């Protein structure tokens, strides 16, 4: 039986808030759990920031890659070490 994953639609979230909200959602996940991010552009900068702050803790799988729609399954792979202060990047789209 397929498990239905939580969906986070970031298309209507202002860029100034989006990365911070997505990072908070991912950090709150139990280890091994996922959600699907829907976005209007490829959030590769967000992926790079998470991978830099918490190496080896995220799985990022593209489910849909269209010009104006990206769907990414984001999974928390292991517990996160503390990071002093996070300054989420602002998307530039």
Structural domain count of the chain? 1
| Residue 30 domain boundaries | 6-76
CA–CA dist 78, 93 (Å, integer): 30
Is 55 among the domain residues?
Answer: yes
Q: Tell me, what's the pLDDT at 89? A: 59
Is 93 among the domain residues?
Answer: no
CATH of the domain at 39: 3.30.110.40
Is 37 among the domain residues?
Answer: yes
Nearest to 44 by CA among 28, 60, 66, 23: 60
Q: Residues 8-55: pLDDT tens digits?
A: 999 999 988 999 999 999 999 999 999 999 999 999 999 999 999 999
Is 31 among the domain residues?
Answer: yes
Is 61 among the domain residues?
Answer: yes
Is 16 among the domain residues?
Answer: yes
Q: Residues 52-81: pLDDT tens digits?
A: 999 999 999 999 999 999 999 999 999 998
């Amino acid at each position: 039986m397929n498990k239905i994953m939580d969906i986070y639609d970031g298309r209507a979230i202002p860029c100034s808030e989006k990365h911070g909200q997505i990072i908070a959602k991912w950090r709150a996940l139990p280890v091994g759990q996922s959600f699907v991010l829907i976005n209007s552009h490829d959030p590769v900068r967000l992926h790079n920031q998470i991978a830099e702050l918490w190496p080896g803790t995220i799985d990022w799988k593209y489910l849909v890659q269209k010009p104006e729609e990206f769907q990414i399954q984001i999974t928390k792979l292991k517990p996160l070490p503390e990071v002093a202060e996070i300054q989420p990047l602002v998307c530039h789209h």
